[in-house]
């Protein structure tokens, strides 16, 4: 039986990888993947806790998160494609239209 | 609506009709609206006068104007002896001036506007004299001032005319400020603005004092002097006389009606109306008497050397108004108002005569370029002569009786009265001198203007000469109602006024009365004779005299430099302060600083804040991460406690 701590530790490591990847990588594709990583880290944590607490609400929440993540990936990739068509780059340093 | 309400409302109706429809409909027929209205008022005024003669003194409220706590003001009418005489003066002179204006203002493009303003003025003046409370008096007081402003600046395209209008208005503000304070103090002290209640309680002011700059001052003196402030402004007494000579920029009928016969005498009327209050304060009485005496001497000396025909008459008006205040100041209110009554006719006549001369001279005003007009303007000459004889105090004419009454009562009235009497006698001589200087220079001798002007000289139309002749009758006969007992009369007017104005005690003998009369007649005759010697007998003499007394002559010619003094003392510091303090500091620095500083500050903050918006997604991500950490840390700390 794997103790709960391990699950939570794994979740924390994956979440940190996600954050660090999001912050330091300049490729939008990789950054989107990092966001997915963070979401799934949370999912692991939720499922583990759900099992530990014998409460199904955690798993229900996971289903919702997967749905949102799918939608997010679809929209994010669509934006990315049209961005690439206009700018011919996926490097975020070149995408500073929002600079004030 | 009774006849008394109708009396002021007729001219008001004429004003409304003319101002609304004058330009489009009535045009050069505007006088068909204005004249019937003022004629109606005149008839009603006569009826009111006869009513008073029958002993019907009316005091009624027609409308409750303001109610606020115990402050209650009505619109109401008090028709007593004083008002009755004023009604006659106002409506009769107004009627004649309206008729005169048909001829004088003929073909002026503001014809309808002129009649509209004249009607509005008549309404305001009637409200002023008929009022039975102080606030309505104040309303009329300000309204006549407003009409005066409109009419002085009637030819507003002319810079000097619109300036003169503003000057009249602003100078009057000074006086009216005091007057307004006086009204407020009366309400505070007596709790009412209705004449009836004021005069019933006026004795309760006796002995009350208020603290002014730490000194206790008699309350009644303060109130009387504040009210007198208003009179000084309105009636152009020293030191607020400067507006009246400039007001001559207005059309001449206006000078006759407003700046000679009616509005400027409102101050005298007001002092006479408040005689129970003034009589209680010796200081105030002496101030009134001395202001009047000094003003009358001051203005008469200026009139000696002026060359503008209307300005000479204007200074003469100031001088005669001083006479009236002199009378009020020695307690002879009745005599003051009597002089107001006679003065209205001969002075309006002088102005209208001057207007007739201007009409003939194509607007020329300088008496040095006139001369010999007698031949061309016979009606104007004879009526002008009658008015001059009347103002010079020739026995039998109106001016003689009223002036003599004033001098006689001043002679009776203690030391201040004696000073006033002596000043008055000197002024009588000066008055005769400058009046006849004007006659001799303008009407006698040979014409000194251009050929073109000489060719153009003509007598004025009937619309102008008829009022002249009518006023001449007044200038002769208006004084007969006050024929003194020593001349076989009964001084009817003096007794008529007794119920409202009282009658000062007379202690001197008949012999002294003859002496006072003789001296005043002699000084008048001396003035006339001197002007005959100087301007007819030996015309080179005046220039020689002016050369010999160059200093005095220059000072008089420049009107004692009062305008220059005010310019130096008041106008320049104010414009300096406006330019350098208000405009440069307050406006440019403080107000504009706030108005421009606020947006500038917001802009600066915005400039700084926009730096945060780098456009790099990672920066936003770091922001989110840090924010998350901070929120979680706070949540943990909160949970830990």
- Sign of the dihedral through C-alpha B55, B500, B401, B43: negative
B46 pLDDT more than 70: yes
Average predicted confidence (pLDDT) for chain A? 91
Q: Using the beta-carbon criterion (under 8 Å), do A23 and B621 form an inter-chain contact?
A: yes
What number is the average pLDDT over the span B508-525?
87
Q: Confirm or reject contact between B606 and chain A (CB < 8 A).
A: no
Least confident piece of the model among B332-341, B346-355, B481-490: B481-490
Would residue A100 count as lying in a domain?
Answer: no
Residue B128: partners with Cβ closer than 8 Å, 6 or more residues away: B136, B137, B139, B140, B141, B143, B144, B266, B269
pLDDT at B269: 93
Calculate the average pLDDT of chain B.
Answer: 88
Taking residues B453-461, report their average pLDDT.
81
Give residue B1's pLDDT.
63
- Residue B437 CB-half CA count within 13 A: 29
pLDDT band at residue A74 using 50, 70 and 90 as cut-offs: very high
Q: How far apart are CA B402 and CA B336, in angstroms?
A: 8
Contact B427, B410 (CB under 8 A): no
pLDDT score, position B124: 94
pLDDT digits over B186-220, tens only? 998 888 889 988 888 888 888 788 888 888 888 89
The reply to whether A1 falls in a domain is no
**What does each C-alpha distance from A36 to B494, B514, B621 come to in angstroms?**
114, 126, 15
Q: Which of residues 335-374 of B touch A (CB under 8 A)?
A: none
Under 8 Å between Cβ of B284 and B274 = no
In a domain, A53, yes or no: yes
Which ipTM was obtained for this model? 0.81
Give residue A12's domain range.
Answer: 7-88
How many domains does the structure of chain A reveal?
A: 1
Segment 294-333 of chain B within 8 Å of chain A by CB: none
Residues of A in contact with B627 (CB under 8 A): none
From B619, which residue of chain A is nearest by alpha-carbon distance?
A23
**How far is B305 from B299, CA to CA, in rounded Å?**
11
Per the domain annotation, does A67 fall within a domain? yes
User: CB contact, 8 Å: B68 with chain A?
Assistant: no
pLDDT in tens, B466-511: 999 999 998 888 888 888 877 777 788 888 888 888 777 777 778 8
Chain A residue with minimum CA distance to B611: A100
Q: Compute CA distances B338 → B89, B400, B404, B496, B614, whole Å.
A: 11, 11, 11, 10, 92
Range B393-413 average pLDDT: 88
- pLDDT tens digits for B97-136? 999 998 888 888 888 999 999 999 999 999 999 999 999 9
Query: Do the Cβ atoms of B616 and A92 come within 8 Å?
Result: yes
Chain B touched by A31 (CB under 8 Å): yes
Cα of A28 to nearest chain B Cα, Å: 9
| DSSP letters for B413-424 | SHHHHHHHHHHH
Q: Which of B618, B624, B632 to substitute to test the interface with A, most A CBs within 10 Å?
A: B618
Tens of pLDDT along B61-104? Answer: 888 888 888 888 889 999 988 999 999 999 999 999 999 998 88
DSSP tag of B61: E
Convert the pLDDT of each residue in A12-22 to its tens digit.
999 999 999 99
pLDDT at residue B29 greater than cutoff 80: yes
pLDDT confidence band for B332 (50 / 70 / 90): confident
Q: In whole angstroms, what is the distance from residue B173 CA to residue B335 CA?
A: 29
B72, β-bridge pairs: B67
Q: Report CB contact under 8 Å: B615, A31.
A: no
pTM for the structure as a whole: 0.81
Question: Does some domain include residue A71?
Answer: yes
CA B346 from centre of chain: 17
A93 lies in a domain? Answer: no
Residue A74, domain member (yes or no): yes
What's the average model confidence in pLDDT over A71-84? 92
H helix runs in B62-190, sequence order: 81-104, 111-130, 134-152, 159-190
Query: B625 touching A, CB under 8 A?
Result: yes
- pLDDT, average across residues B19-40: 87
Task: Confirm whether A30 is domain-assigned.
Answer: yes
What distance in Å separates the CA atoms of residue A94 and residue B361, rounded to the nearest whole number?
A: 91
Domain harbouring A15, CATH code: 1.10.287.3510
Q: Which of B610, B613, B618 sits opposite A23 (nearest CB)?
A: B618
Q: Residue B455: exposed, middle, or buried by beta-carbon count in 10 A (0-12, 13-18, 19+)?
A: exposed
């Amino acid at each position: 039986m794997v103790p709960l701590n391990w699950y939570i530790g794994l979740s924390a490591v994956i979440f940190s990888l996600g954050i660090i990847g999001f912050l330091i990588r300049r490729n939008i594709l990789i950054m989107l993947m990092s966001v997915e990583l963070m979401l799934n880290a949370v999912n692991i944590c939720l499922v583990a806790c759900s099992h530990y607490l014998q409460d199904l609400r955690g798993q229900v929440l996971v289903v919702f998160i997967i749905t949102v993540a799918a939608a997010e990936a679809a929209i994010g990739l669509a934006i990315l494609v049209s961005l690439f068509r206009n700018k011919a780059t996926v490097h975020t340093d070149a995408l500073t239209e929002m600079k004030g | 609506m009774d006849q008394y309400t109708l009396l002021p409302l007729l001219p008001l109706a004429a004003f409304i009709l003319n101002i609304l429809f004058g330009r489009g409909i009535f045009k050069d027929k505007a006088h068909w609206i204005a004249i019937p209205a003022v004629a109606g008022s005149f008839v009603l005024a006569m009826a009111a006068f006869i009513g008073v003669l029958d002993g019907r003194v009316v005091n009624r409220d027609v409308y409750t104007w303001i109610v606020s706590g115990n402050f209650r003001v009505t619109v109401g009418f008090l028709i007593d002896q004083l008002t009755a005489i004023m009604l006659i003066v106002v409506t009769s002179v107004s009627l004649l001036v309206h008729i005169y204006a048909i001829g004088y203002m003929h073909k002026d493009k503001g014809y309808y506007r002129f009649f509209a303003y004249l009607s509005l003025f008549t309404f305001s003046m009637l409200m002023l004299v008929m009022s039975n409370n102080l606030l309505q008096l104040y309303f009329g007081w300000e309204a006549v001032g407003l009409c005066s402003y409109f009419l002085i600046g009637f030819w507003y395209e002319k810079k000097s005319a619109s300036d003169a209008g503003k000057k009249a208005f602003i100078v009057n503000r000074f006086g009216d400020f005091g007057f307004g304070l006086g009204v407020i103090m009366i309400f505070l002290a007596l709790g009412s603005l209705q004449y009836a209640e004021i005069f019933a309680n006026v004795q309760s002011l006796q002995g009350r004092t208020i603290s002014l700059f730490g000194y206790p001052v008699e309350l009644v003196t303060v109130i009387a002097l504040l009210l007198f402030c208003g009179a000084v402004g309105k009636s152009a007494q020293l030191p607020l006389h400067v507006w009246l000579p400039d007001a001559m920029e207005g059309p001449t009928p206006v000078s006759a009606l407003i700046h000679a016969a009616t509005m400027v005498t409102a101050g005298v009327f007001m002092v006479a109306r408040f005689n129970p209050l003034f009589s209680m304060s010796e200081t105030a009485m002496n101030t009134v008497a001395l202001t009047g005496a000094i003003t009358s001497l001051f203005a008469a000396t200026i009139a000696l050397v002026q060359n503008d025909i209307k300005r000479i008459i204007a200074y003469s008006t100031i001088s005669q108004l001083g006479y009236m205040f002199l009378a009020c100041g020695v307690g002879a209110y009745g005599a003051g108002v009597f002089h107001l009554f006679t003065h209205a006719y001969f002075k309006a006549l002088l102005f209208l005569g001057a207007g007739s001369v201007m009409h003939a001279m194509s607007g020329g005003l300088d008496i040095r370029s006139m001369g010999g007009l007698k031949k061309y303007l016979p009606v104007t000459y004879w009526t002008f002569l009658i008015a001059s004889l009347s103002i010079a105090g020739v026995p039998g004419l109106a001016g003689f009786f009223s002036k003599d009454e004033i001098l006689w009562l001043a002679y009776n009235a203690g030391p201040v009265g004696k000073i006033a009497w002596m000043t008055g006698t000197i002024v009588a001589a000066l008055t005769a001198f400058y009046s006849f200087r004007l006659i001799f220079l303008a009407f006698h001798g040979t014409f000194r203007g251009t050929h073109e002007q000489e060719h153009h000289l003509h007598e004025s139309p009937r619309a102008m000469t008829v009022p002249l002749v009518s006023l001449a009758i007044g200038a002769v006969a208006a004084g007969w109602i006050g024929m003194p007992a020593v001349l076989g009369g009964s001084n009817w007017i003096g007794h008529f006024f007794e119920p409202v104005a009282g009658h000062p005690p007379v202690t001197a003998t008949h012999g002294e009365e003859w002496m006072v009369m003789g001296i005043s007649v002699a000084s008048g005759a001396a003035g006339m004779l001197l002007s005959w010697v100087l301007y007819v007998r030996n015309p080179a003499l005046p220039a020689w005299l002016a050369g010999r007394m160059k200093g005095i002559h220059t000072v008089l010619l420049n009107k004692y430099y009062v305008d220059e003094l005010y310019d130096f003392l008041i106008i320049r510091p104010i414009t300096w302060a406006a330019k350098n303090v208000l405009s440069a500091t307050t406006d440019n620095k403080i107000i504009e600083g706030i108005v421009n500083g606020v947006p500038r500050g917001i802009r600066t903050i915005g400039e700084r804040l926009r730096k945060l918006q780098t456009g790099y997604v990672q920066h936003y991500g770091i922001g989110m991460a840090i924010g998350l950490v901070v929120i979680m840390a706070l949540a943990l700390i909160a949970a830990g406690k």
